[in-house]
Amino acid sequence: MSLISTSRTAFCLCFLFLALPAPVVLAENARSLEQLADDIDIAEQQLEVLKQQLEQNQSLKNDLQSVFAASQEKRGERDQRLAELDQRIGVFSARLDEMDATVKAAGDNITKYQSTLSQALINAQIVGTDTRLKALLQHSDPVAALRLSTFTDYLFRAQSEQLQIAIAFLQQIEDARLSTLKDKNWLEHIRAKATGQRDAFAKAEDSTRVKIESVNNELEQTTRSVAELEQDQQRLQLLMEELERLQRSGSGYFAAFKGQFTMPVEGTIAARFGTKKSLGTLLWDGMYINAVAGNPVQAIADGEVVYSAWLQGFGMLVVIDHGDGYMTLYGGNSEVTATVGAWVSSGTTIASVGDSGGQNASGLYFEIRHNARALDPAEWLSDVSSGA
């Protein structure tokens, strides 16, 4: 159970008295000042706990914001690094395209040189293997034949040299292309790694953002709780100051009938005084009686109706003052028929069974208090065993 719910449960009855008109407040002058002082101490302790939670949550928020800023900075660095790598990869891609074009052109030249040299060799074979001798024998002019033979040898050597140069150039281009491709592949690897780091920083940033939102929500809730508890504490202090001025004489009526009062409603007791509630370590200050919705709720003793309306934590509530500081509370009703200021007798119907107090089943929440201190209803009712 949250501190908010705990504080509201502890002080709900006190707020009830503060909400009553002046004559009703005067009727509560028997309330224990010591109990009020204890309530104020509880409020102060809970305020201290909430303030510590505020400090812790604020510190946690500051730490998370620092982590968030660091993640943003690192992700920004990775984004910048990726942009630089993309630019360099683009440069290498363009260079590879240029080299591919150069390799193609060089290959075309080699093919042309190879074709030319091949054709020249074929022509030489037609003339014969000894070109120079055949040139001398087949020409009537020996000098012209020798010149032709020398020119043919020169042509073969020149074409062969051009072919070797072209092949060497092609090899250089291919080597450079492979080197560039290797550099590009390395850059691609670095880029993939940087992308992974960037994505990890982004994920951490998103996770931290969610945590910050959660802490902010807790801070808002705790801040509201502190404000509410401070108001509660102020109201308790006002009540204590008021009760210090009030005094009241007793009649002894209610105490005289201890153990003889009738159950306020027909039903089964689902929770008894002093037992633990389903959540947390809080104990029941009264008893909860499961009952059929709509059934009548009756006053157990004569008294004045001092409250008949909705109250948080109790739902539709009726409170009856029986004098001498004794009061009975009937909560969780579907509707109330008793009016404030009315005098009711024992057995008078004051409400109808409901579930307005937030319980899971219809029934009646019943308390007996003396000077605001909760008493065990089982000690005051005569037919508890039959209703159990």
HEC sequence for 175-242? HHHHHHHHHHHHHHHHHHHHHHHHHHHHHHHHHHHHHHHHHHHHHHHHHHHHHHHHHHHHHHHHHHHH
Q: How many residues does the chain have?
A: 388
- Is residue 84 pLDDT above 50, yes or no? yes
d(CA 149, CA 132): 5
Q: In the predicted model, what is the mean pLDDT of residues 33-42? A: 75
27: confidence class by pLDDT, cuts 50, 70, 90: very low
Q: How far is CA 250 from CA 65, 184, 206, 320, 326, in A?
A: 63, 99, 67, 16, 10
- Is residue 115 pLDDT above 80, yes or no? no
d(CA 236, CA 184): 77
Q: What is the pLDDT of residue 243?
A: 57
- Is residue 2 pLDDT above 60, yes or no? no
- What ranges do the domains of the chain cover? 64-215, 250-387
d(CA 196, CA 86): 15
Which residue spans within the chain are E strands per DSSP?
Answer: 268-271, 287-290, 296-298, 303-311, 315-323, 326-333, 335-336, 343-344, 349-352, 363-370, 373-375
Higher-scoring residue by pLDDT: 366, 139: 366
Look up residue 261 and give its DSSP letter: B
The answer to whether the CB of 353 falls within 8 A of the CB of 291 is yes
For residue 55, the SS3 value is: helix
- Is residue 301 pLDDT above 50, yes or no? yes
d(CA 91, CA 100): 14
Higher-scoring residue by pLDDT: 316, 57: 316
d(CA 344, CA 151): 143
pTM: 0.41
From the list 265, 275, 262, the residue with the least C-alpha distance to 364 is 265
Q: In the predicted model, what is the mean pLDDT of residues 86-91? A: 85
Q: What is the pLDDT of residue 272?
A: 93
Q: What is the pLDDT of residue 7?
A: 40
Higher-scoring residue by pLDDT: 23, 206: 206
Rounded to 5, what percent of the chain is helix, strand, coil? 60, 15, 25
211: confidence class by pLDDT, cuts 50, 70, 90: confident
Q: What is the pLDDT of residue 344?
A: 96
Q: In the predicted model, what is the mean pLDDT of residues 67-81? A: 83
Amino acid identity of 60?
L
Q: What is the pLDDT of residue 112?
A: 76
Q: How far is CA 276 from CA 35, 280, 281, 288, in A?
A: 21, 8, 6, 12
Q: What is the pLDDT of residue 228?
A: 80
Q: In the predicted model, what is the mean pLDDT of residues 70-96? A: 83
235: confidence class by pLDDT, cuts 50, 70, 90: confident
- Give the model confidence (pLDDT) of 262-296 as tens digits: 999 999 999 999 898 776 667 889 999 999 999 99
In CATH terms, the fold of domain 64-215 is Helix Hairpins (1.10.287)
Q: What is the pLDDT of residue 182?
A: 86
24: confidence class by pLDDT, cuts 50, 70, 90: very low
141: confidence class by pLDDT, cuts 50, 70, 90: low
Q: What is the pLDDT of residue 342?
A: 95
From the list 291, 374, 332, the residue with the least C-alpha distance to 318 is 332
Lowest mean pLDDT among 82-91, 182-191, 223-232, 243-252: 243-252
**What CATH superfamily is the domain 250-387?**
Glucose Permease (Domain IIA) (2.70.70.10)
Q: In the predicted model, what is the mean pLDDT of residues 357-382? A: 92
Mean pLDDT for the chain?
A: 78
Count Cα atoms within 13 angstroms, Cβ side, for 257.
15
- Give the model confidence (pLDDT) of 310-348 as tens digits: 998 889 999 999 999 999 999 999 999 999 999 999 999
